[in-house]
């Protein structure tokens, strides 16, 4: 049994003390629910530009609708 499996086993054991179960849940959380990776400078810059330029009075108009007539 690896350490993560042990922590999850203790956390799910109803007979274990609640404080111990809480400590195991806190210890196992980073292994089960990872952090969102940090973005690079370019990705952060692109996201900021999309957030600012995506709406408002001076945003780009949607493309014209294409009508297919047969």
The CA R_g of the chain, rounded to the nearest whole Å, is: 25
How do residues 9-48 score in pLDDT, each as one tens digit? 999 999 999 999 999 999 998 888 766 666 678 877 887 8
- Model confidence, pTM: 0.48
Instruction: Write the pLDDT tens digit of every residue in 44-53.
Output: 788 787 777 6
- Helices (DSSP H) in 1-70: which residue ranges? 3-12, 18-32, 41-53
């Amino acid at each position: 049994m690896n350490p993560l499996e042990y922590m999850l086993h203790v956390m799910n054991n109803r007979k274990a003390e609640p404080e111990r179960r809480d400590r195991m849940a806190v210890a196992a959380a980073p292994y089960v629910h990872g952090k969102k990776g940090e973005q690079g400078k370019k990705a952060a810059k692109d996201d900021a530009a999309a957030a600012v330029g995506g709406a408002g009075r001076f945003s780009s108009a949607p493309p014209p609708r294409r009508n297919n007539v047969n």
